[in-house]
Amino acid sequence: MRDHPARTENVGPVRNGRDINVDLIAVVAAVVDREPCVLTVGPRSTLPSGPFELSHRSLQSGLRDWVEQQTSHPLGYIEQLYTFADRDRMEVGRDQRNISISYLALTRQEAMADSPRSHWKSWYEYFPWEDHRSGTPEALNVFGPHLIAWAKEGSDPTARRDRRKRAAVAFGLDDRPWNEELTLQRYELLYEAALVEEVGGRPRTALAASISGKAMVADHRRILATGIARLRSKIKYRPVVFELMRATFTLLQLQQTVEALAGRLINKPNFRRLVEQQELVEETGGTSLDTGGRPAKLYRFRHAVLDERAFAGTKLPLARS
């Protein structure tokens, strides 16, 4: 199994002649028509990226330059994710360490730019087992037996028990609850069990290949999983979800955006009560007619909450139905 990448804050790249190659890579996310989307480049599902160069003023400015060049999309909200520097990222036959410093960027639907080179794709195309809004995904019913069989492999009983426990915790086996934040751990387990295409060659079964999601270049699907996990965690304690919302919105639209990101349905009364208790939004005085029924009140994010809770944070827990 690949080691979990160590989190780095404000880490700058180090060049050492031909020994180290440093790239900047972006997970750019938006929610479009209740679907969480990621920005990709070219026909091979590649995340926007490029080398950190001497001409770049900073890591973030270099990333913004590359994303805008490749996608015509200027970045707004951005935060550093992780630095990926595992030894298995080294290319065969080349004595060069490949380091990728990744970032999570959020944007709104109305700011999404069109480009012949870039595409917005639902992130559930790459992780179909992560979307539980319509019930348990078919992929989990298939993966479960394969993961159990994989966990039994080998002669070391301690290793077998460890694999079985990790699979149960990550995938909700043995009547354990589903934890939407374990996106990265689930992908890495599937990688270790050879159930995703990136392992090399075909996954273990043709059926698994049909439901294991679209592959991405190199370890870009692993980096995307890291971004999804970070965002799913962060929407519970910081108001970053409003970076994905239009200036005005209904409470139902806000709920549907949180559901899209989390891949889980939310109890409507509980969600509205939480939003009101946290004083995250304020009425605009307008209404929306795009409801299919009675006009709904329009709200906007109450920016004062950022100053009021600069240290305590702002909780928006995922209230399950």
Q: Which CATH number do you get for residue 263?
A: 1.10.10.10
Residue 1 has pLDDT above 50, yes or no: no
CA atoms within 13 A on the CB side of 229: 19
Residues paired with residue 51 on neighbouring β-strands, in sequence order: 23
What's the pLDDT score for residue 6? Answer: 36
Domain assignment of residue 74, yes or no = yes
The domain boundary, picked from 66, 95, 125, lies at 125
Which residues are paired to 297 by β-bridges? Answer: 287
Instruction: Calculate the average pLDDT of the chain.
Output: 85
Q: Is the pLDDT of residue 116 over 90?
A: no
169-179 pLDDT, tens digit each: 999 999 999 99
Cα separation, 308 vs 166, whole angstroms: 40
Report percent pLDDT > 90 for the chain.
Answer: 59
Q: Which residues of 78-98 are buried (b: 16+ CB within 10 A; e: fewer)?
A: bebbbbbbeeebeeeeeeebb
Give residue 85's pLDDT.
82
Residues 35 and 80 in one domain: yes
CATH code of residue 46 = 3.90.79.10
Query: Does residue 174 sit in the same domain as residue 201?
Result: yes
Mean of pLDDT values over 206-229: 87
Q: How far apart are CA 79 and CA 9, in angstroms?
A: 10
**256-259-265-270 Cα dihedral, nearest 10 degrees:** -70
Does residue 271 fall inside a structural domain? yes
Mind listing the pLDDT tens digit for each residue in 17-67?
457 888 999 999 999 999 999 999 988 889 999 998 888 889 999 999 999
Same domain, 111 and 174: no
DSSP assignment of 74-107 equals ---EEEEEEEE--GGGSPTT---EEEEEEEEEE-
Cα separation, 225 vs 127, in Å, equals 8
Q: Establish if 261 belongs to a structural domain.
A: yes
Structural tokens at position 288: 């929306």
Alpha helices in the chain (DSSP H): 59-71, 138-151, 157-171, 183-192, 206-211, 220-234, 251-262, 268-278, 304-308
Residue 320 has pLDDT above 90, yes or no: no
Q: Which of 125, 155, 170 is the last residue of a domain?
A: 125
What string of DSSP letters covers 176-208?
PPP-TT-HHHHHHHHHHTT-SGGGSS--S-HHH
pLDDT score of 209? 57
Band the pLDDT of 199: cuts 50, 70, 90.
confident
* Total-model pTM: 0.87
Does position 317 have pLDDT exceeding 70, yes or no? no
- Give the per-residue pLDDT at 207: 58
Q: What is the mean pLDDT of residues 93-122?
A: 83
Would 317 be classed as within a structural domain? Answer: no
pLDDT of 288 reads: 85
pLDDT band at 302 (very low <50, low <70, confident <90, very high): very high
3-class DSSP state for residue 46?
Answer: strand
Confidence of residue 252 (pLDDT cuts 50, 70, 90): very high
Is residue 223 over pLDDT 70?
yes
Question: Does some domain include residue 163?
Answer: yes
Please state at what angle helix 220-234 crosses helix 183-192, rounded to 10 degrees. Answer: 150
* 42 domain-assigned: yes
Closest C-alpha to 25, from 262, 230, 222, 235: 222
Residues 119 and 26 grouped into a single domain: yes
If asked whether residues 48 and 120 sit together in one domain, one would say yes
Buried b (16+ CB within 10 A) or exposed e, 114-130: eeeebbbbbbbebbbbb
pLDDT digits (tens, 9 = 90+) for 69-87: 999 888 889 999 999 887 6
Range of the domain at 74: 20-125
- Hey, how many other C-beta atoms are within 10 angstroms of the C-beta on 12? 10
Q: Between 286 and 13, where is the model more confident?
A: 286
Higher pLDDT, 162 or 110: 162
d(CA 68, CA 36): 21
Integer distance in angstroms from the first to the last C-alpha of the chain? 34
Residue type, 113: A
Into how many domains does the chain fold? 3
Q: Check residue 15 and give its pLDDT.
A: 45
78 falls within a domain:
yes
Q: Are 269 and 319 in contact (CB under 8 A)?
A: no
pLDDT value for 66: 92
| Predicted local confidence at residue 242, as pLDDT | 94
